[in-house]
Amino acid sequence: MGRITLDKVTKSFGDIEVIPPLDLTIDEGEFVVFVGPSGCGKSTLLRLIAGLEDVSSGQIRIDRQDATHLPPAKRGLAMVFQSYALYPHMSVRKNIAFPLKMAGMDKAEQDKRVNYAAEVLNLSDYIDRKPGQLSGGQRQRVAIGRAIVREPAAFLFDEPLSNLDAALRVNMRLEISELHAKLKTTMVYVTHDQVEAMTMADKIVVLQAGRIEQVGSPLELYRAPRNRFVAGFIGSPK
Ligand code: ADP
Ligand code: MG
């Protein structure tokens, strides 16, 4: 579960092609990071995978299914939004359970999943608090909990740490890496931060103007950047 394949995917807004034909395979259980400067198409690519945008052409496969024209809810993926997407008037438990309640899941199964998510995220002690009574890091974990309970084939993150301060960002980076180690679920993570990419990824996809400049492990990109752009981004000399 969690293998995602993009086959000649393109995306245009009006006359402007922001993603020229792009091929990419994300393997089951991989932690893949899309990195590149602002405006290079990272969010668009993630939104195409999520189904929040329609491709202009090409095909997206998720596991054995052609997902190209499936609505987001049918793709079995969970987009993790920033923590400000939490409901302030609901407890942590209710915030995390929200997508399950919407899906009409029975209460016992909801409780089981919420308790499991709270446990892996170390939120069990805060389950009855409201978001306003939590730290920034705890709120971010609640946002992740809301994705975990859906038991997705993959998690999609779009710069989830960008409103956190520097110290908290480092902590959350470690926590998300640890979560990946525990769940072993595919994660696709968008950032413009090279350090996040280098420390979190199994595989880095370096993007520039909607094109893939290079795909490889952090070590591969560091040792053998294909061009100056990649070298400049990863921080090794070339
Ligand atoms: P990134 O996430 O890497 O900063 P985006 O994927 O948000 O980049 O944007 C890539 C390009 O597509 C940018 O030039 C942006 O202006 C353009 N773009 C993104 N969304 C839209 C949209 N809904 N309508 C028109 N242009 C868009
Ligand atoms: Mg973006």
What is the ipTM, given to two decimal places? 0.98
Distance 158 CA to ligand 2 centre (A): 7
**Nearest atom in ligand 1 to 14's CA:** 25
Alpha carbons 160 and 12: distance in angstroms, whole number: 25
Per-residue pLDDT of 135-189, as tens digits, reads 988 999 999 999 999 999 999 999 988 888 888 889 999 999 999 999 999 999 9
State in Å: Cα 116 to ligand 2 middle: 31
* Model confidence, pTM: 0.94
How many angstroms separate the CA atoms of 201 and 187, rounded?
9
- Report helix, strand or coil for 136: helix
Does residue 38 line the site of ligand 1, with CB under 6 A? yes
Contact 5, 25 (CB under 8 A): yes
Ligand 1 atom closest to the Cα of residue 47 is: 6
Q: How many CB atoms lie within 10 A of CB 108?
A: 8
How much distance in Å is there from the Cα of 170 to the middle of ligand 1?
Answer: 27
Q: Is 206 in the pocket of ligand 1 (CB under 6 A)?
A: no
Ligand 1 binding pocket includes 41 (Cβ within 6 Å): yes
The C-alpha atoms of residue 178 and residue 150 are separated, in whole angstroms, by 19
Taking the chain (238 residues) in consecutive chunks of 10 residues, what is each chunk's mean pLDDT?
97 98 98 96 98 98 97 94 85 96 95 96 96 92 94 95 86 93 96 93 97 97 94 72
